[in-house]
């Protein structure tokens, strides 16, 4: 599939990140690798969104610490960023509201009309900036058009996304020429499709099946409008899980299950195991957490005497 027809994706992971583990980072990497292998998607950014302090989970340390640990965990990544919006609100936010916030933010900052999983875009996804003249990067001697090319549009989008926690798309993939130059295929702005997908483990997917835990209207929006990328954990079978929920069955086509090594070593790593390892002085904690996060935990004396 040509890149002009691929959907550009931002992966959003919500959770406690108490603390953020190597498993969380690998979840992003595995999801991106899988989506790229399908030939249908290009992942241009990943967002880690830690939950608000008022979530009320036992043993949840301050968002000040969790945000810092998340930033330390992704500091070497060129495409995953930490977003503090959820933590900075007055109270706890639902996953649905976090997704909607980022969708609205993308619209305001980039001018995008983000696509719905059920209604592929047939109108321009990214419009020409208003009150700005489009400067042609390449001109031939015949016809010069000021119509925005993909290179110009994605350049503007990339700059905007980089300011709100996403990485600039690799621009070398696009040709910096005027569309009339006929020096190669140039993606037109009408063909760019951008989507935010919720990234989660199979444990969160399973929680959708617990009666009364999730608001059904929120589930309809999360799965029906945005879509989910699920990374299996602890040998769980996402297909079996989906059969236990009428909403998940209804929107099964909007749920992308990462199919890679089912015995991936990071699939059993969890924040709970990490906290227990810290409390017991277990050296295996280095298998669960990256060293900068471990150093911060020890310096701040987090989890060491906690019972959560």
Give per-residue pLDDT as tens, 62-94.
Answer: 999 999 999 999 999 999 999 999 999 999 999
**Are the C-beta atoms of 179 and 148 separated by less than 8 Å?**
no
3-state secondary structure of 122: coil
What is the pLDDT at residue 118?
A: 52
Instruction: Tell me the per-residue pLDDT of 172-199, one tens digit each, with 9 for 90 and over.
Output: 333 333 333 333 343 334 445 789 999 9
What is the pLDDT at residue 185?
A: 40
Domain boundaries, the chain: 5-113+191-264
**Are the C-beta atoms of 61 and 26 separated by less than 8 Å?**
no
Please name every residue paired with 47 in a beta bridge, in sequence order, or none if there are none.
Answer: 12, 81
240 contacts: CB under 8 Å, gap ≥ 6: none
Which parts of the chain sit beneath pLDDT 70?
1-4, 110-192, 261-265, 306-308
HSE value, Cβ hemisphere, 13 Å, CA-based, for 288: 20
CA 48, CA 71: separation in Å to the nearest integer? 9
What are the φ/ψ torsions at residue 28 (nearest 5 degrees)? -60, -50
Q: What is the CATH number of domain 5-113+191-264?
A: 3.40.50.620
What is the pLDDT at residue 2?
A: 59
What is the pLDDT at residue 151?
A: 44
E strands in the chain: 7-15, 41-50, 80-82, 193-201, 228-231, 255-257
């Amino acid at each position: 599939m040509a890149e002009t027809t691929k959907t550009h994706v931002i992966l959003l992971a919500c959770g406690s990140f108490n603390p953020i583990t190597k498993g969380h980072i690998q979840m992003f990497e595995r999801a991106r690798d899988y989506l790229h292998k399908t030939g249908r998607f290009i992942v241009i950014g990943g967002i880690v969104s830690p939950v608000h302090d008022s979530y009320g989970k036992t043993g949840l340390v301050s968002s000040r610490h969790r945000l810092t640990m998340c930033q330390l965990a992704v500091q070497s990544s060129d495409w995953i960023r930490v977003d503090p919006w959820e933590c900075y609100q007055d109270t706890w936010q639902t996953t649905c509201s976090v997704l909607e916030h980022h969708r609205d933010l993308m619209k305001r900052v980039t001018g995008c009309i983000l696509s719905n999983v059920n209604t592929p875009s047939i109108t321009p996804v990214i419009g020409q900036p208003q009150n700005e003249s489009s400067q042609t990067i390449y001109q031939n001697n015949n016809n010069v058009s000021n119509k925005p090319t993909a290179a110009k549009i994605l350049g503007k989008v990339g700059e905007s996304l980089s300011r709100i926690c996403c990485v600039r798309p690799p621009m070398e993939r696009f040709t910096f020429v005027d569309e009339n130059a006929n020096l190669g295929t140039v993606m037109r702005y009408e063909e760019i499709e951008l989507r935010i997908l919720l990234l989660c483990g199979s444990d969160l997917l399973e929680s959708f099946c617990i009666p009364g835990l999730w608001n059904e209207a929120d589930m309809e929006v999360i799965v029906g409008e945005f879509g989910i990328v699920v990374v299996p954990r602890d040998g769980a079978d996402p297909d079996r899980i989906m059969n236990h929920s009428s909403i998940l069955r209804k929107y099964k086509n909007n749920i992308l299950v990462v199919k890679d090594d089912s015995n991936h070593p990071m699939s059993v790593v969890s924040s709970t195991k990490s906290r227990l390892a810290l409390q017991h002085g277990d050296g295996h904690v280095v298998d669960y957490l990256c060293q900068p996060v471990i150093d911060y935990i020890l310096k701040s004396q987090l989890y060491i005497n906690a019972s959560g």
